[in-house]
Amino acid sequence: MNASPVELSVAGPVAELRIRGAINLDWTRALRAHATELRSRDDIRVVRISAEGRFFCPGGDLRWMADQPDRTAAVKELADAFHAGLVDLTATEAPIVAEVHGAAAGAGVSIVLLADIVVAAESAAFTLAYVSAGLSPDGGSSWLLPRIVGRRRALEIMLLDPTVDAHQAEQLGLVTRVVPDETLRQTADGIVAQLAAGPTAAYAAARRLLLRSAHASFEEQLDAEAAEIAQLAGGPTGTEGIHAFLEKRKPGFG
């Protein structure tokens, strides 16, 4: 039996999505099913995305696309399923950590952009690759990329289709940290463990505020910040954090 292109495993508060191969309809359906499950759970405190094989993700399966009798309808179904999975994934309370080795192309880059923290091996390389195949971006990259690197640099990456190596990606802000390949998993382990033990509700509030800031006015953002910090201060997360600080002890966020 062939392994699922996207597998979900859960160990305590940590969920890991293990991806493999190019993105076809089976791939997107598997991602969507797992993301829907994660969105419905309240025991997950961090989501980890890793990959199996030589590459992180080569992007859309062009051979699959070429074989479709109605390619327009098939690719629309593919993109819709992929996007629904991404929406559910970003709706989880838990922060998302991606560990990237080898090539990330096309929608594989979108997954990287979606993550909150990205640890990249020195072997990692990134290319959108859409225009080289006569296609346009999907997976939210046209929304995410300019917010990370700016409009001008985003257009350069989208239109000229360069391959960006790991250290260039770090300079651009596409990844958080670059480490030797042999320490990739270990480094990600440390970040995942720290997030899993941290204040999940505060992480979720920070993520919501950052997403909201893209379309809110300054005054609206201030109002949102006031509401979020007040809610946290009066709830169990803020109560534990405040008391732990005053008592000079390490907080225990349950």
- pLDDT tens for 105-142 read 999 999 999 999 999 999 999 999 999 999 999 999 99
Name the nearest CA neighbour of 158 among 124, 126, 131, 125.
131
In this predicted model, what pLDDT tens digit does every residue of 186-241 receive, in sequence order? 999 999 999 999 999 999 999 999 989 988 999 999 999 999 999 999 999 999 99
Structure tokens at 15: 């969920």
H or E, element range at 64: helix 62-66
Burial readout 82-101 (b: 16 or more C-beta within 10 A, e: otherwise): bbbbbebbbebbbbbbbbbb
The pLDDT of residue 254 is: 74
